[in-house]
Structure 1
Amino acid sequence: MKVLVTGGIRCGKSLYAENLLADASAVTYVTPGYAADPSHDPEWAARVYNHQKRRPRHWTTIETVDIASALRAAESPVLIDCLGTWLSRTIDGWGVWEKPFEQWRHRFDDALMDFLDAWHGSSQLTIAVTNEVGWGLVSEYPSGRLFADLMGRLNYRVGGASDDVVLMVSGRALHLGSDANYHR
């Protein structure tokens, strides 16, 4: 089973996803987030710490941007938290924020297809947390508009490849199910 958990900032996405796996004897927790460095960014470090202290000790944490490989290697249910962080770190790693998208679109398409292949191929219960970023104002910055566009594409593709999509709103889970009309 594949589940995509989506919603806005601080709406309960991660906690909901973690609770879906509360009874699992083992979980592979894949985080593509930036390392927590309290001297550099104390607010980010506090967020990371709060996520870490909620996780059961028997869960295995893998910190990597290569979420497709981590998913392929997992031998237990998988929780990926989160796709928005993965996307921003991936683009940061390519160093292409200021370049026209058409110059590096193939890199995005390849990374997305690699992840979707791993998502489809996983025999484990797999849950991914993602962000809904397209419901607010359109960014005045090209990089913000690009990020929102790419998150929309990413969420569309992963949601369409999922057995259930859960929209979190104010701590409440709305099950959107799967879309029989979705085409890859």
Structure 2
Amino acid sequence: MSKTILITGGTRSGKSSFGEKLLKDSDDVLYIATSKVFDSEMAERVRLHKERRNPKWETYEGYKDISKVIESTEKNKIMLECVGTMVTNLMFDTYEDFEGVSKEDVRVMENEILKEFTNIIEAVKNYNKELILITNEVGLGLVSEYKLGRIFTDILGRINQRLGEVSDQVYLTACGIPLKLK
């Protein structure tokens, strides 16, 4: 039976560690890493993440057409790290400069991003997988003074709401402690 778990929280709140703990007794895991490595600091973060994971887990690095990756894997448990990073990458695939982007452009872009996540959830259901989604909680901070920050926060906030609705379980992590919300 398929199952989706959403884990949200702030930066360094323990989201990833908690998600990995939920899967620690399984070797049947596909870890989907959605980040792009742009500099040595990011490369070090990725290295540390890889180091602490079960070495038997398979890793897929990418952020597009993830539903096809889910459909093609033999692994039954999937951890997607991180929804926020995936949203960022998809946004920048669409536009490089956000200052001149209209509300309609943002609406269309958001719908395309939502479609990516809808396809992921459908693939999990259709192929009877377990999915753990790690995301950033953006609803507890200030409103950005920059248009790009506001667009990102709005899109990720609404994507998180939708993922929360369709997830079987939702956790908020703070100070390394998970709190079950659903």
Same fold, TM exceeding 0.5?
Answer: yes
The aligned residue for residue 140 of structure 1 is: 145
The aligned residue for residue 8 of structure 2 is: 6
The answer to whether the 8 Å contact 1:120/1:161 transfers is: no
* Partner Cα separation in structure 2 for residue 138 and residue 108 of structure 1: 18
- Please list every run of 5 or more consecutive structure 2 residues that lacks an aligned counterpart in the other structure: none
Distance 1:104 1:137, change over 3 A: closer
3-state SS of the aligned residue for 2:181?
Answer: strand
The aligned residue for residue 61 of structure 1 is: 59
The amino acid across from 1:125 in the alignment is E
Give the root-mean-square deviation of aligned CA atoms.
Answer: 1.5
Paired-residue identity, %: 36
The Cα shift of 1:104 comes to 4.5
For residues 140-167 of structure 1, what are the alpha-carbon distances to aligned partners after superposition, in whole Å with 9 as ceiling and x for unaligned?
1011011111111010001111000010
The Cα shift of 1:24 comes to 1.1
3-state SS of the aligned residue for 1:130?
Answer: strand
Instruction: Confirm or deny that 1:120 pairs with 2:119.
Output: no
* Partner Cα separation in structure 2 for residue 115 and residue 69 of structure 1: 12
Normalised by the length of structure 1, the TM-score is 0.88
The Cα shift of 1:103 comes to 1.8
For residues 45-85 of structure 1, what are the alpha-carbon distances to aligned partners after superposition, in whole Å with 9 as ceiling and x for unaligned?
22111101111111111011122322332322000000000
The aligned residue for residue 180 of structure 1 is: none
The aligned residue for residue 182 of structure 1 is: none
3-state SS of the aligned residue for 2:136?
Answer: coil
The answer to whether the 8 Å contact 2:6/2:133 transfers is: yes
The aligned residue for residue 27 of structure 1 is: 29
* Partner Cα separation in structure 2 for residue 105 and residue 75 of structure 1: 35
* Partner Cα separation in structure 2 for residue 118 and residue 91 of structure 1: 17
Normalised by the length of structure 2, the TM-score is 0.89
The answer to whether the 8 Å contact 1:72/1:118 transfers is: no
The aligned residue for residue 92 of structure 1 is: 92
Which stretch of the first structure deviates more once superposed, 116-125 or 144-153? 116-125
* Partner Cα separation in structure 2 for residue 25 and residue 47 of structure 1: 23
3-state SS of the aligned residue for 1:174?
Answer: strand
Which stretch of the first structure deviates more once superposed, 66-75 or 89-98? 66-75
The amino acid across from 2:50 in the alignment is Q
